Chains A and B, each alone.
Chain A
Amino acid sequence: MPAAAPASPRRARPAQLAPLAARQALPSPLLPPGLLERLLAEAMGRGADFAEVYVERTSTTAVVLEESRIKSAQVGLVQGVGVRVITGAKVGYAYSDDWDEPALFRAARTAAMISQGGGAERAFPIKRVAVPSHYRVAQALEDVAVARKTALLTRADKAARAFDSRIQQVNASYVDQTRHIAVANTTGRYSVDTQDQSRMSVHVVALGKGGERRTGMYGSGGRVSFSYWDGVTPESVAEEAARQAIATLGAVDCVAGPQTVVLAPGWSGILLHEAVGHGLEADFIRKGTSLFAGKLGEKVASDLVTVIDDGTVSNARGSINIDDEGNPGERKVLIENGVLKGYLFDQLNAKLMNQRTTGSGRRDSFKSLPLPRMTNTFLAPGDHAPEDILKEVKRGLYCATFGGGQVDISNGNFVFEVSEAYQIEDGKLGRPVKNAILIGVGPEALKNISRVGSDPMPDPGMGICVKDGQMLPVGVGLPTVRIDNVTVGGTKVG
């Protein structure tokens, strides 16, 4: 069952944006095109419809702060090559983290075993295609000195502790990744991309009266240059985490049962990700295991609902110049004014369903097969002023910040966890509420959306989506929204 969550618990001179041309002219650190062509030929050696070579080299830097000290700094390199061969609906896959030619050819031959025929000797020339740029960075994050990264966390720790004397524990982490990928396939398509991502998170524990402990968690990031942290400062991230923890001290038990809920803008986009996004992924649709299968053109949500998945948002965490099959990321309207308009396709499911890929084939590394996945998923803004949405609710629950969520694709049941919530009484925020969770069935919840705010907002940039054990960076976004008659989990009855 797929799930998404904010990534759990982690001064520089502003850098200049390098011209795009300079970046693309860098010598590829990956395999030479000639070798890719020979591997493709080997993979087609027993006859097949299609073969692909996926090359990846990812370096990761991670810094952890605990008890006001930099506990550790680490750097890692993972690299490998995956070879995929498709015959009809059958897929053979093999990968190797050894870049020696004999190991690579062995992988190609292993993947080829899925085909039973004898292939004729053929050449599969490839041609590098131009790739759009949605996230140029001035300097690869792997080339930024570690000391500049550790400094962010020290500043965050100080700011969180200075925020309120009741802040007892601060754990902060910073992680970045520079991921170089190259994808070549037997249609001749060869594309290369570098995908940087940077993310900081701060996790705090506040101590209240009578030993009460509340946590706060906040972070930020994206496919950004390191200079991003001059704008979104570690102080601002830490203060938001501390604010959440302090605000929820003295929270009362959540009342269980159906309520009217108002969702604050931003992270609440997890609702869309779980309630509709996963159910529109083409693998579930093709297999008929999603409740959205066969519903194209049908009304699946209220008129106010327009859902978009967009891999082309500048510098967003879920953006992709190319997906992991080498196709460009796209902007897709999935639901328009409540009507189901489209699904998310990778290449294989698109072919089997006689459709066009939407550039949604993503994988977490060379060790995995691509799956249709979301990028940045958001709800288009509506006409309602956010203040009015709250004012109209006599009694209900205001959901301010969110933990993770999960969905069961077949029956559409989804949950999402609310880490900061308040009672609404006569259109105003009341006491904080603890331990709230929302549960619903995708289309029903979407039909119950009765107000959509005019205040679109993306999440701050640290979402992780899990499907089949594969973890990917994603973005979500939602304006202020009111949903009627939502089942709220809690401990208090009546």
Chain B
Amino acid sequence: MNYEQLAKKIVQRAVKRGAKQAEAYLEVGRQSSVRVREGQIEDLTEATSKGVGVRVFVKDRLGFAYTSDFTPAGLERVVDLAVQLAEAAAPSKLNGLPSAKDLGKRGDTGLLFDPKVANLPGDWKINAALEAERAGRAEDARVATFDSVSAGDFVSEVYLASSEGATGGYSGTYVYLVAVPVAAQDGQLQTGFWLDYKRFFDDLESPESIGRQAAKRAVRMLGAKSVKTCQVPVVFDPLVAANFVQNIAQAADGNAVYQRSSVLAAHVGKKLAGNHITLVDDGLLPRGLATAPFDGEGVPTRRTPILDKGVLSGFLYDAFTARKAKARTTGNASRGYSALPGIGTTNLYLEPGAQSPEDIVRQVPRGLYVTALLGHGADPVSGDMSCGANGLWIENGELTHPVQEVTVAGNLLQMLKDVDAVGSDLQFRGGSAGAPTVRFRQLTVSGA
């Protein structure tokens, strides 16, 4: 089936049914995954799926419906439903699809599709997962078992058409490998996962390395205990720093800022952090997991600095919110077929600094190196953050004993000011948000 044509047909039908503006967003995908355990396949899943979301505006009222039923009757029904549902919403002059001006010229994404991933033999996934498990066991005898080791790939296609002239499609590939070992000693169990998730097969970390790294992370937590409550320098490893970066981006949501329900709302143009803090959302990052020619409503993606050398320089918008805030859309409409566009990030990352992670730790006389967080992170409205933390205690610049059952707490604004070192080790691991090692001058660690 020609899905781009189908998307156009859906739009035409909606207009015929009385929509002033209409848009069809269509996703098609196939995926395959395998999990192994104790040298055996645990499960194997294969599937194809598809769906379409239809957004219409009837007399400035928004209607939306979606379906995975692509029979002619199913597709007719979804269009009619969208048009009918517009009656239930309130009219707003600000409603509408991105204009021709917003649609503009698309940037260069580079390659998004890797035939090596699209044609990965099923055997590769099984063997890679088994190899990661073997390597994890070989790394340390205290690796007692694995919760799971999994490998998978998927191919996804997106098509979009709108009555305002948006049209297009793209397809992309993804491949991943995850190992979750459990280490045991003296009746204590500890887990530590490691993973990699990429568009291109050749970018993926080797199965052996994934298995070994996961095992190391689990084993080094054995014997973990709480520490006394204190205020000390705290280092976030890149995985944990990526969470912090996502918390800031959440507060940079243009709609939250417009509604003044963001801790950042009052600080536009202000210097919130040192020169070494540059936080960017870049929908065109070469080989990025979230790289795409256009966003969820057909607007070209682009690079948007949120913090530029410490200065709060930008917020993220989709077309509707931009209109409300009298700003321009930044191409950050994020969605699946079953959801209306909302504001989201694409490839979000903190630019790396010059210091090695080892140096960052070495400069800490006494502090905490955090390797995992528990909880939901910061409240974007107040900026308050309080999370459970696991990690390693730092004494005289060395990682000493493992720490668990503590929390770290602070406020985003103060934490931004307090970042006093940014590592050279930027990585995107397990998602489209990336960060290097980050050190805070001081956070409150709550423990025994």
Contact = CB atoms under 8 A, between A and B. Distances in A.
B409 A256 contact: yes
Interface of A is mostly: strand
Contacts of B65: 74-76
Interface in B342-394: 372, 374-376, 379, 381-382, 384-388, 390
Residue in B81, B146, B446 whose Cβ sees the most chain A Cβ within 10 Å: B446
A215 B259 CA distance: 13
Interface string B62-84: 11111111110010001001000
Nearest to B338: A76
Contact of A75 (B47, B85, B229, B411): B85
B311 interface: no
A287 B145 contact: yes
A74 B64 contact: yes
Contacts of A80: 49, 68
B446 A441 contact: no
Chain B contact surface mostly = strand
Contacts of B147: 284, 287, 289, 409-410
Nearest to B221: A411
Given A77-B69, A97-B49, A150-B88, A437 B182 contact: no
A367 B88 contact: no
Interface in A100-123: 107, 110, 113-114
Given A287-B37, A410-B191, A78 B338 contact: yes
Contacts of B387: 415, 437, 489
A488 B446 contact: yes
A415 B372 CA distance: 13
A160 to B, nearest CB: 14
B119 interface: no
Contacts of B410: 491
A91 B45 CA distance: 8
A413 B376 contact: no
B6 to A, nearest CB: 14
A493 interface: yes
B171 interface: no
Contacts of A247: none
B47 A489 contact: no
A128 interface: no
Contacts of A408: 191, 372, 374, 390
B375 A406 contact: yes
B382 to A, nearest CB: 6
A211 B388 CA distance: 28
A414 interface: yes
B320 to A, nearest CB: 9
Interface stretch (A37-45, A64-72, A230-238, A448-456): A64-72
Contacts of A441: 405
A79 interface: yes
Interface residues of A, number: 84
A194 to B, nearest CB: 18
A73 to B, nearest CB: 4
B78 to A, nearest CB: 8
B382 A168 contact: no
B51 interface: yes
A213 B376 contact: no
Contacts of A290: 189
Given A73-B89, A78-B338, A408-B374, A415 B47 contact: no
A472 interface: no
B82 to A, nearest CB: 8
B245 interface: no
A69 B44 contact: no
B48 interface: yes
A63 interface: yes
A91 B44 contact: yes
A379 to B, nearest CB: 22
A79 B145 contact: no
A435 B90 CA distance: 36
A146 interface: yes
B226 interface: yes
A411 B189 contact: yes
Interface string A377-394: 000000000000000000
Nearest to B258: A67
B447 A487 contact: yes
Given A215-B379, A413-B388, A489-B386, A1 B374 contact: yes
Given A79-B68, A437-B407, A491-B444, A94 B46 contact: yes
A493 B446 CA distance: 8
Interface of B: 37, 40-51, 53, 62-71, 74, 78, 81, 85-86, 88-90, 92, 144-147, 182, 188-191, 221, 224, 226, 229-231, 259-261, 263, 266, 338, 340, 372, 374-376, 379, 381-382, 384-388, 390, 404-411, 444-448
9 contacts: A69-B92, A70-B89, A90-B40, A205-B259, A369-B43, A411-B404, A413-B390, A415-B374, A487-B226
User: 9 closest A-B pairs (Cβ-Cβ)?
Assistant: A489-B407, A256-B446, A91-B43, A415-B388, A73-B88, A69-B90, A410-B189, A74-B64, A435-B384
Given A168-B260, A488-B446, 14 more contacts: A69-B90, A73-B86, A94-B46, A169-B261, A205-B260, A213-B260, A215-B261, A289-B189, A369-B43, A404-B375, A409-B147, A437-B387, A439-B407, A493-B231
